[in-house]
Structures are given as C-alpha cells and as structure tokens.
Structure 1
C-alpha cells in the first residue's frame, strides 16, 4: 500500500503560520500591558504590528483606537484622531464597539465645577448601534464600580455637564445619572463622545 504523499510545503506553511500567530499574540499581549500601564504610544506600536497584517481582528481595532486617542503622538499628528475614528467604525462593522477611555466621577460637584476627580472609577465607554456599555477597569478612593449596559431607549439624556468643563458629560436614565469625563479631560474628546452618541444612539430610540 502506498503511503500518502508528504508535503514539505504544507508543513512549512503550517509552521510559519503558527510562528506568525504566536508573534501576533505576543504583540497583542504587550499592547494590552502597555495600555494598562498608560504607555499608549508603545501600545499603538504593538497593535499596529498586528493590524498591518490582519485587519479582521476586532480586538486589535478597538485597542489601537484607544491607544491612538490617548497617546502623545496625537498632539503632533492631527491625523491620529481620524485614524482612531476609522478603526472604531471598522470595529463596529465587525461586531465590536467604538470605545473611549473615561472616568466615572461619583462626586457630581467635581464635574460641574471642573475640579480634579478624587472619587471615581476608570474604564471604557463602548458604543454600538442602539447601545452603550460602561466597563469598569479600576476604582479609586471610596468609589464603587457602577458598570452598565444601556439601550438607547434607556437613556433620557446624554449631554455635557457644567458646560463641558474639563470634558464633563452625563448620561441620565430614569433611575440614575452618571457623571463622566474623558480620560484626557479634553473638551474635544467630550465632543467626540457626543458625536459617537449621536451616531450610535440617536437612531435607536
């Protein structure tokens, strides 16, 4: 009985694929580590390695957008924000979210008066058609985590807080009002969040 033909090319392709996959997984792991430690430009570099080779990875699209919006490179390159928005759109098209890093303040006056937050939780606000979700990463001082997953119909108001001082904005439901600011405290990032709310929530009510 003849043995099945042995394909060297097939074996090498499988080996190279495994090696490449391993390299990409390591790049993603490092990217997440850099994000969590606030090294956003380094995180962007790692996620770019993967995205340049595979633009079907929703996890990379979301996290590269976060890295772009929070890195120092954005101050020098006005096109970075556009790249981040394009990645968000791509992520949503693939079933993911349009994410932004935010601080949830549990001291309403801090937001209204534009003061520094001391009692807050950091996390990610993620938009998708008809929905917005807050995922808590870490809480500071005596703040308690208050994650949520809201539909457009749950939201009565999504607007600036205190005239948008330090980027403050609020999400009001029938039961509760949540006070936020972008991680950067920039008004332009609050404007970006307002635009995401209009884009993904306005049509879902």
Structure 2
C-alpha cells in the first residue's frame, strides 16, 4: 500500500518529503546519509561557483555510501518567456515523469503550508548565494534539491541550478521568476535512487557521530508539529 506524503523536512540544501511517521530509523538513515553527502561534496567544491564538479562529487559520494542509482535524466533549458513560473513550478514539472502527479500534488500541499521561520531561513541560506560586483549587475545563484522518499525507501531527487540578475524573494519557492533576468539555462538533474542497507550499515554509526553537532543547525521540519501531531 502506498501512503500519501505527510512530512516535509529541510535537510541543508534539500527539501525532503516523506510518507512515513517521523523519527523512523529509515528516515534517520536517509537524512543522515544525504546530509553527509552534501557536506562531503561541499568540502571538495564550492556548490554555487563549481556546481557541475559539486554535483559529480555528490553523485560519487552517494554511490560510495550506499545509494544505488536506478535512473537519471538531465535537462538544460532556457526559461520559458511569456509564462509566469516559479522555482516550484520548474522542479515539479521535472519530477512528474518520475513520481507522477499525485506525489507532486501531495508535496506541494505540504510546502504550501506556512513554514516555521527557522526552516525558511535555513532553506534560503543553503540554496542561494548573492554575488555583488561593482562593475556588473548583482547575480544570485540558486542550487536547490527536492527529495521525495516513498515508504519502501526509494528516493527521487531533483537538483536544480540557475543564475539570475533578479533579486530573489524570501519566498524562494513560489516567487515568480523573470525569464529575461536569467543568465544561461536552467539545469535540472533528476535521479531515482535506493539506499542499500547492506552497504550503508557500516557508515551508520560513523555518520551519526560526525553529524551529532551539525543536525540541529542543518535539519529542520518545514512546520512545527501541531498538538494533535505531537506524541
């Protein structure tokens, strides 16, 4: 039986959706492994200025630490002119062929709910970087990940990257993008992956130890749990 997505969590630069109860061991494995992979890639390459190298390092690290790549697709496209679209619109369209309309709609329903301010602060700080130059217009680079995890442990992950001269609003997901302000194409990579426990189990404790002082700052629920949701 497939359950609807019911949880949204910011995991550094990745907005993640789950369809099982929070705090399960499987969810912890997914969050820890993907946080460690992000940090490992960022230690080698600057995410905002060396994105392709960062992405390649991310993919190599994920494979080493137990993620099996089952399917991937890369899209490089100019922004559609004359059409109002948002970061979420672009990402959702790329995800449709991997997870279907129902999953995308469930994810959007969760992320349309007002986030807690700390979660939004974390998302903005981890996914966008402003470059100011006296001789050139200021540019903002966005590197954004969306991950959808089904109960069996399958992960569909989108990586989205673009640079724009448009000042990005704090509501980075749903603010309208100005196509004329984009520098170059919008780059999208979608991966279908699965975490192999036989491989990951050797990293579980070392990762938990390495991340114990980082989780509180880099992992946050999208919204505060209501009294009805709290145990």
TM-score > 0.5, shorter chain as reference: no
Q: Which has the higher helix share?
A: 1
Q: Which has the higher contact order (CA 8 A, sep 6+)?
A: 2
TM-score of the pair, normalised by structure 2: 0.24
Q: Which has the higher strand share?
A: 2
Bigger Rg over Cα: 1
